[in-house]
Amino acid sequence: MSRAPDRTDRRIALGLFLGSFALLWATEAAVGFVRDESVYFAAGEQVVRWLRLLVQMPGRAMSDSVTTQAFDFNHEHPLGMKLLFGLSWQLFHQGLGWLRPATAFRLPAFAVAATIPAVLHAWGAVLFGRRAGLFAALCFLAVPRHFFHAHLACFDMPVAALWLLVVYAFWRAETDPGWWLWTGLLFGAALATKHNALFLPLVLLPFALVRAVRASAGKPAARALLEQLGLVLVGGAALLGILALLLTPAGLLRGWELLSPPTAVIVLVAAALCLLGVRLHARDGATFRAVAPLLAMALVGPAVLYVVWPWLWYHPVDRFRAYLEFHATHVHYAWMYLGRVLREPPFPVFYVLVVTALTLPVSVLAPMGTGLLSVGVRAVTAGLPRLPGRSSGASASELLVGINALASIVLISLPDVPHFGGVKHWLPSMPFLALLAGSQVQLAGDALGAWLARRRPGLPAAAVTPALGALLLLPAATLTAHVHPYGTSAYGELAGGVPGAASLGMQRQYWSNNVTGVLGWINLHAPRGARVWLHEVHGLSFRDYQQNGMLRADLRPAGGPGDADVAAVQYHQEFREQEVAVWQAFGTTRPVAGLYIDETPQVVVYRRP
């Protein structure tokens, strides 16, 4: 049976996509440029310059030296989203002149983020019911930090969207023809977005294996082909292992060229997988559909990444290795957590859970938590004898959602993994938690409605779940509206809001975008031609604020307090020295203005007397 949503749910999903896109666009102008975003703006411009050269002189544009020069900037991230940012900027700002530069860059990010509520509804409606899908979609975007990240021309929300899309396609592929190829293509897009995607096959592999074993049960020919697929994979891995032993792993990578034994092994394995896949398709559709998504991920995914990222074209092994090394050895930025500044591993193992609990609105956290707990309990107790009234074990689909809800959280919880960046590093878990929240709200709302209807027969029981859902969304939406556009400062009710989190000693903010809260004061009060030090704000962002009409064009960036007339200091516990340096340079401890959210200092402005 197909897992496609029905026509009504498809329309609702489309409405959610369009509504989310419009909402993000309508609320975008106030959102400051986070440190990385201005880098991606610049990278997007660079892509466009290269594309122009590609049209004019394709041979030269595709040469090693030009692709290296064009894409070396910010090569620590693949090109996928930057390509879209650049194309949108070229079309809507440079070409048509319809949008300011930042909005044009961000437009693709809105579109990708808007797929999350749409997919959550489409999936949730089929898996749990329409109201569950709708709550999942709305509660995801109602979370202040999700809403904030959905505005940015960055990669955290896009990779969360693509993680969701890959898993959704993987789920659809079990029953619906053609979705196995979508799984591979979407995985390629995810790889071309951010390195989180590299962990997706590990999460999906066990599900594919179980599916394949079940599908091939009682089908000797299909099972034999399945075993051959396994043998090819194991054999390929063994051959690469032997080469690594002979040459040492570093030597293997160093000597890996286009025409080399490792390349031959990979090509042979890929060819064998294709051949066996074709034979399996012909022999047994169900078994093919079980393994095809992973085969597509293995074969199509890397190909998409390679094609989309010209920086890899001439030096795929060296540069892919450099890309991995950058993230494997990423610097640990200082980060405030429960009254202490975390600076180096090992980090607290419960950090991610605590931060998630403190940053989510509690009315969203509660159904997410019970949803995850419900799946976990039913999965663990599935093998126990059935008791009267006890629920059935979690279905494979629910387990797929539950495992993906945990995957990124568990990964970032590892004590040696960098812990900075608020919630953005485990954003790919959050859509799945939203799905589970939807299931809980529907089940609990329906039960509450039935219970109430038994006591008050005239009560419209069917209205209870929508009313409960709306009530749960209201505090979250209120908080989101309250902190917008300062989403990195948002904390939920469990923390005691923004002031409660400050007293708990949590990170006040990050990524420097909150500076928009004082740009108005600076524009109004800074002397003409003044030198302005925007602490923590990337140099490119200073330019972007001016280009987008948010900062007066006559103001000049200062390198520090020493040469500044006006200083805007971001409040970070790890940067107290820098505010004190302003006191020293300006001869005063008294600020003149600031951004204070619910009393908490976020950005403090000083003027040289």
Partner 1 sequence: MPSPEPPFPRLRAALGAGFLATALLALGFQLWLPRVLPTRADDQAVADVLARESRPGDVVLLHPWWTERARLFVPPGLPVTGYLGDEGDALLEHPRIWVLAQPRLPRTAESEFARAFLPGRTPLDASRALGPYSLQLYRNGRARSVRFSAAEAMETASAVVDLPGQGRLGCPREGSAFRCPGGARVETSWHEVLYQPARCLFVAPPGGTGTVEITFEGVPPADVLRFEAAIVWEHAWKHTDNLTPLSAQLLDADTGTPLASLVVRPGTEGFVAAEAKAGSRRLRLRVQSDRADERETCLRLRALQTLEGAR
58 is written with which tokens?
């394709």
Nearest residue (CB) to partner 1, 255 versus 505: 505
Alpha helices (H) along 248-334: 249-254, 261-283, 285-308, 316-328
One residue of 7, 456, 528, 590 binding partner 1 per CB under 8 A: 590
One residue of 235, 348, 505, 557 binding partner 1 per CB under 8 A: 505
Residue 571 CB, shortest distance to partner 1, in Å, is: 8
The rounded distance, in Å, linking the Cα atoms of 604 and 609 is 16
One residue of 3, 223, 531, 543 binding partner 1 per CB under 8 A: 3
Q: Does 226 bind partner 1 (CB under 8 A)?
A: no
Residue 392 CB, shortest distance to partner 1, in Å, is: 7
Q: Does 600 bind partner 1 (CB under 8 A)?
A: yes
Q: Does 2 bind partner 1 (CB under 8 A)?
A: no
Coil vs helix vs strand at 33: coil
Residue 341 CB, shortest distance to partner 1, in Å, is: 8
Return left, alpha or beta for 73; rule: phi > 0 is left, psi -120 to 50 is alpha, else beta: beta
Residue 35 CB, shortest distance to partner 1, in Å, is: 19
Return left, alpha or beta for 517; rule: phi > 0 is left, psi -120 to 50 is alpha, else beta: alpha
Exposed / middle / buried, residue 260 (Cβ in 10 Å: 0-12, 13-18, 19+): middle
* Residue entry with tokens 């897009």: 189
Residue 53 CB, shortest distance to partner 1, in Å, is: 44
| 180 neighbors 289 (Cβ within 8 angstroms) | yes
Residue 483 CB, shortest distance to partner 1, in Å, is: 11
Nearest residue (CB) to partner 1, 514 versus 600: 600
Scan residues 458-487 and list those touching partner 1 (CB under 8 A): 464, 468, 471-472, 474-476, 478-479, 482
Exposed / middle / buried, residue 609 (Cβ in 10 Å: 0-12, 13-18, 19+): exposed
Q: Does 253 bind partner 1 (CB under 8 A)?
A: no
| 219 neighbors 287 (Cβ within 8 angstroms) | yes
Residue 448 CB, shortest distance to partner 1, in Å, is: 3
One residue of 389, 456, 458, 553 binding partner 1 per CB under 8 A: 389
Among 410, 473, 371, 372, smallest CA distance to 140 is for 473
Distances (CA, A) of 450 to 125, 286, 354, 447, 466: 21, 40, 35, 5, 14
Residue 2 CB, shortest distance to partner 1, in Å, is: 11
Determine the angle formed by the axes of helices 430-455 and 156-173, rounding to 10 degrees: 70
Residue 363 CB, shortest distance to partner 1, in Å, is: 4
Q: Which residues contact 218 (CB under 8 A, 6 or more apart)?
A: none
Coil vs helix vs strand at 608: coil
Q: Does 176 bind partner 1 (CB under 8 A)?
A: no
Q: Does 609 bind partner 1 (CB under 8 A)?
A: no
One residue of 23, 493, 523, 608 binding partner 1 per CB under 8 A: 493
Binding mask 327-356 for partner 1 (x = CB under 8 A): -------x----x-x-x-------------
How many CA atoms are closer than 13 Å to the CA of 397, on its beta-carbon side?
16
One residue of 210, 503, 549, 560 binding partner 1 per CB under 8 A: 503
Q: Does 263 bind partner 1 (CB under 8 A)?
A: no
The rounded distance, in Å, linking the Cα atoms of 19 and 21 is 5
Nearest residue (CB) to partner 1, 13 versus 581: 581
Scan residues 425-454 and list those touching partner 1 (CB under 8 A): 439-451
Coil vs helix vs strand at 422: coil
One residue of 367, 402, 487, 517 binding partner 1 per CB under 8 A: 367
Query: DSSP string covering 489-545, please?
Result: G---GGGTHHHHHHHHT-----SSGGGHHHHHHHHHHSPTT-EEEETT--HHHHHHH
Scan residues 118-157 and list those touching partner 1 (CB under 8 A): 126-129, 132
Nearest residue (CB) to partner 1, 429 versus 600: 600
Nearest residue (CB) to partner 1, 241 versus 339: 339
**Binding-site size, partner 1 (CB under 8 A):** 76
* Centroid of chain to Cα 577: 33
Nearest residue (CB) to partner 1, 61 versus 473: 473
432 is written with which tokens?
């799945």
Nearest residue (CB) to partner 1, 105 versus 128: 128
Q: Does 573 bind partner 1 (CB under 8 A)?
A: yes
Q: Does 19 bind partner 1 (CB under 8 A)?
A: no
Q: Does 368 bind partner 1 (CB under 8 A)?
A: no
Q: How many helices (H) and strands (E) does the chain have?
A: 25, 7
Nearest residue (CB) to partner 1, 196 versus 442: 442
One residue of 213, 278, 463, 580 binding partner 1 per CB under 8 A: 580
Binding mask 394-413 for partner 1 (x = CB under 8 A): ---x----------------
Among 83, 119, 78, 92, smallest CA distance to 28 is for 92
The rounded distance, in Å, linking the Cα atoms of 269 and 275 is 10
